[in-house]
Amino acid sequence: SVIIATYNRADYIKECLESLVSQTYKNFEVIIADDGSTDNTEEVVSAFFERLKLNYFKIPNSGFPGKPRNMAVKKAEANWLCFLDSDDKWTNNKLKTCLPFLKRYDVIYHKLKYFGSGKPFYRKNIPSRQVETPVFIDLMTMGNSIALSSALIRKEVFFEAKCFFDENSSIGGLDDYDLWLKTSLITNR
């Protein structure tokens, strides 16, 4: 299940969804939780209903991506949760490349590249590294190296770790780091 939380991303979400249409592995669903967009996000998304197995719903604006992500996760039917921000995209073989690792790991991730024009980039890649065991100690001492839009997590592990995203500003933009810390307390896979 590909989880996308969005808010006023009509300018980006088309490219995001096109990257899902072009996936070489096709057996997935897309759940888009719209956090009260006031632009034409819904119109852009509607063009993809015949091209993707798509579940789109809109909620009143909560101000943070945690609430829409949590609501989307609860609707997920697959055994794996894949997160994709609405202003990001995947290469066409992202899901197929991850498939061989599903049986051995509970969390799978990779580095990301920045794309687009008009954005000031201070680096071309979002760095990533292989975390060491115990994963909790690694993440606490070396910092977060798992970019959310690159990550897949086994759904049962997500629920077992009570990994729901923070729904307010108490931890700001660190809700993905919180997710990985909670996960690392129950698995090193």
Longest dimension (CA), the chain: 46
Lookup: tokens for 23: 């996936």
Q: What are phi and psi of 183, to 5 degrees?
A: -60, -40
Residue type, 26: K
Are 158 and 148 in contact by the 8 Å Cβ rule? The answer is no
pTM above threshold 0.85: yes
Using one digit for the tens of pLDDT, what is the confidence trace for 79-111?
Answer: 999 999 998 999 999 999 999 999 999 999 998
Per DSSP bridges, beta strands 30-34 and 2-6 are parallel
pLDDT at 121 over 60: no
**Which residues neighbour 173 within 8 Å (Cβ) at sequence distance 6 or greater?**
none
